[in-house]
C-alpha cells in the first residue's frame, strides 16, 4: 500500500508541474486579401463602392484595430449592357457616428450612372499594384405596382393591399411601408419616417416591432391596426400631439439581384445564440478577393391619409386631403 501512495505522490507532483496554462498563437500566415463592396441602386444615378485590405491585430480582438485599411488610387469601373460605363472617383467623406475608425471614410463614387433593368452589369476594380477584382450580375427588372392604396384608411377593408407585376425570375423582395411626418423640434420641422412593421409584440411594457423578411410573393397586405399602432407610437410619451405633422405613407419595394439576396440572407440572419461554430462559411461573390457586388431596384407607391384619420390621433395633416 505504501508503494501505491509513493507512486501517487510522484504522479501528483508531475502533473501539478505540468499544469501550467500554455499559450497559443491562433494566427497562421497572413495573406493579402482585398475587399470590394458595391451595391448598385437601380433607381439612382449616384453609385458608390469601398475598397479595403485585410489586417491583423496584436491582440486577438479584431475591434482593437484602429487603422482603416482603405485603398486609394484604384480604378473602379462599372458597366451595364453594351454602352453604359462609369469610372468611380476616389474621395473621402466625414465618417458616420459610431464608426470603428476616426479617419475620414474613403469611398469611390459616381453620380452619373444608372443601370438599365434586365441587363448584365459588371464591376471591375484594378488596384494600384495591378491586382484585379471583378464581379458580374444582372440588374433586376423594373416592377409595376398595379394595386395600391391612394387613400388611407381604405373603405370597406381594414387592411392595406398592394401588389405588383414583374418579369423577374426567382425574385426576392424587401419592402418598407413608412409613414412620413414632421416633428417640430426647437421650432424647426424635422422630417422622420415611422416604419410600419409586420407585427408588434409587447415585452417589458414596450412594443417591439417585427419587420418583414425577404420574400418572393408579388403582393403585400398590411393590417390597419399596425398602421394605427405605428401612428400612436410616433408621439409615444409626448402629450403635445400638435407637434406632429403627418405627410403620407410610402411603400418601397426593393427587388434584389441573386447575389445581393443571398448575401442579405447570410448576413442579416444568424444561427442560434448557443451554438458555437468555429469555421463559419463566408459569403462573398467577388472574384479575386472578398466582398459583395449587388444590384437592387427600388419602386414605390405613395398613399395619403384622410384628415379625419390624422386628426383622430391628435396630429396635424401636412398635405391637402387626397394629394
Partner 1 sequence: MPKKTTFLSILLLTLFFLCHSGKISAQDYGTLRGYVTDSTSSEALAFCSAVIKELMIGATTDVRGYFMIPSVPANKNFTLIVSYVGYRSKRINVRISKDKVTQFNIELSSSSIEMQTIDRIEKRLIEKNVTDISLQRIAIRDLESLPKGVETDVFRSIKYLPGVQSTGDVSAQYYVRGGASNQNLVMIDGITIYNPFHALGLFSVIDPDMINNIEFYKGGFSAEYGGRLSSVMQINTKDGNKNSFGAKASGSLLSGKLLLEGPIPDGSFIITGRKSYSNDIIKKFLNDQTIPLDFYDFSFKLNYSNPDFIQGSKFLINGFSSADNILHNDPRIEDYKWSNNVFGFKWFQVGDSPLFYDLGISVSDFHGQVMPKLSSARATDNQVDDVGLQMNFTYMFDSKDEIALGFHIKQIKTDLYLENSKGIPVNLGSQAANIVFYAKYKLMQLDFFGLDAGVRTNLTTLSRNPQASLLEPRASFTLQVIPEIKFKGAVGIYQQEMITVSDENEVINIFEPWIISPPYLTPSKAVHYILGLDTEPFNNINFTVESYYKKVNNLPLLNESKILPTDPDFVAGTGESYGVEFFTRISPSPINFTASYTYAYAYKELNGLLYYPRYDIRQTFNTALEIDLGKGWSTSAVWTYNSGLPFTQLIGYYDKYYFQDIFASWDQLDPRAPYTILSIQNLGRLPDYHRLDLTLSKKLKIDTYTIDLDFSIINVYNRKNIFYFKRDTGERVNMLPFLPTATVKVSL
Q: Which of residues 59-98 bind partner 1 (CB under 8 A)?
A: 59-63, 65, 69, 93, 95-96, 98
CB 55 within 8 Å of CB 71: no
Is 108 an interacting residue with respect to partner 1 (CB under 8 A)?
no
Closest to 81 measured CA to CA, from 48, 110, 115: 115
Q: Which is nearer to partner 1, 125 or 310 (CB)?
A: 125
Spatial separation of the C-alpha atoms in residues 305 and 315, rounded to whole Å? 11
Q: Which is nearer to partner 1, 224 or 266 (CB)?
A: 266
Cell digits for 178? 413608412
Please name every residue paired with 143 in a beta bridge, in sequence order, or none if there are none. Answer: 166
Is 6 an interacting residue with respect to partner 1 (CB under 8 A)?
no
Q: Which of 167, 216, 225, 312 binds partner 1 (CB under 8 A)?
A: 216
DSSP 152-163: ESPTT-SEEEEE
Cβ 157 to partner 1 shortest distance, Å: 26
Cβ 288 to partner 1 shortest distance, Å: 14
Spatial separation of the C-alpha atoms in residues 32 and 151, rounded to whole Å? 56
Residues that bind partner 1 (rule: CB under 8 A) add up to a total of 85
Cβ 114 to partner 1 shortest distance, Å: 15
Please name every residue paired with 88 in a beta bridge, in sequence order, or none if there are none. Answer: 76
Is 218 an interacting residue with respect to partner 1 (CB under 8 A)?
no
Residue 153 preceded by cis peptide, ω within 30: yes
Q: Which is nearer to partner 1, 95 or 307 (CB)?
A: 95
Instruction: Give the footprint of partner 1 on residues 240-269 (CB under 8 A).
Output: 252, 254, 258, 261-269
CB 141 within 8 Å of CB 85: no
What SS3 class is residue 74? coil
Closest to 192 measured CA to CA, from 229, 253, 251, 246: 246
What SS3 class is residue 26? coil
Is 303 an interacting residue with respect to partner 1 (CB under 8 A)?
no
Cβ 232 to partner 1 shortest distance, Å: 19
Q: Which is nearer to partner 1, 4 or 240 (CB)?
A: 4
Q: Which of 2, 3, 56, 155 binds partner 1 (CB under 8 A)?
A: 56
The stretch among 49-57, 218-226, 241-249, 305-313 that binds partner 1 (CB under 8 A) is 49-57
Instruction: Give the footprint of partner 1 on residues 151-210 (CB under 8 A).
Output: 170, 172, 174, 176, 201, 203, 208, 210
Cell digits for 7? 507512486
Closest to 124 measured CA to CA, from 74, 159, 177: 74
HSE-CB at 240 with a 13 A cutoff on CA atoms is 4
Cβ 112 to partner 1 shortest distance, Å: 16
Q: Which of 72, 89, 191, 213 binds partner 1 (CB under 8 A)?
A: 213
Instruction: Give the footprint of partner 1 on residues 7-36 (CB under 8 A).
Output: 8, 11, 15-16, 18-19, 21-24, 26-31, 33, 35
Q: Which is nearer to partner 1, 269 or 323 (CB)?
A: 269
Spatial separation of the C-alpha atoms in residues 299 and 289, rounded to whole Å? 32
Amino acid at each position: 500500500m505504501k508503494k501505491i501512495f509513493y507512486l501517487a505522490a510522484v504522479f501528483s507532483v508531475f502533473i501539478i508541474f505540468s499544469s501550467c496554462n500554455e499559450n497559443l498563437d491562433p494566427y497562421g500566415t497572413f495573406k493579402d486579401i482585398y475587399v470590394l463592396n458595391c451595391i448598385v441602386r437601380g433607381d439612382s444615378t449616384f453609385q458608390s463602392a469601398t475598397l479595403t485590405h485585410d489586417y491583423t491585430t496584436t491582440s486577438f480582438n479584431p475591434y482593437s484595430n484602429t487603422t482603416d485599411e482603405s485603398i486609394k488610387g484604384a480604378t473602379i469601373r462599372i458597366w451595364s449592357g453594351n454602352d453604359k460605363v462609369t469610372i468611380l472617383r476616389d474621395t473621402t467623406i466625414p465618417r458616420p457616428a459610431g464608426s470603428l475608425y476616426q479617419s475620414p471614410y474613403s469611398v469611390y463614387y459616381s453620380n452619373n450612372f444608372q443601370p438599365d433593368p434586365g441587363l448584365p452589369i459588371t464591376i471591375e476594380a484594378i488596384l494600384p499594384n495591378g491586382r484585379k477584382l471583378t464581379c458580374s450580375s444582372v440588374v433586376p427588372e423594373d416592377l409595376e405596382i398595379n394595386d395600391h392604396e391612394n387613400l388611407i384608411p381604405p373603405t370597406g377593408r381594414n387592411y392595406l393591399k398592394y401588389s405588383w407585376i414583374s418579369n423577374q425570375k426567382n425574385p426576392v423582395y424587401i419592402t418598407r411601408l413608412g409613414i412620413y411626418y414632421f416633428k417640430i423640434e426647437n421650432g424647426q420641422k424635422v422630417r422622420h419616417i415611422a416604419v410600419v412593421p409586420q407585427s408588434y409584440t409587447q415585452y417589458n411594457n414596450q412594443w417591439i416591432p417585427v419587420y418583414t423578411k425577404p420574400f418572393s410573393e408579388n403582393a403585400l397586405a398590411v393590417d390597419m391596426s399596425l398602421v394605427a399602432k405605428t401612428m400612436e407610437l410616433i408621439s409615444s410619451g409626448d402629450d403635445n400631439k400638435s407637434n406632429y405633422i403627418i405627410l403620407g405613407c410610402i411603400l418601397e419595394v426593393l427587388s434584389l439581384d441573386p447575389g445581393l439576396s443571398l448575401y442579405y440572407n447570410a448576413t442579416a440572419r444568424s444561427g442560434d445564440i448557443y451554438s458555437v461554430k468555429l469555421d463559419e462559411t463566408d459569403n462573398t461573390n467577388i472574384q479575386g478577393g472578398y466582398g459583395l457586388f449587388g444590384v437592387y431596384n427600388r419602386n414605390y407607391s405613395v398613399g395619403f391619409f384622410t384628415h379625419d384619420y390624422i386628426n383622430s390621433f391628435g396630429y396635424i395633416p401636412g398635405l391637402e386631403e387626397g394629394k
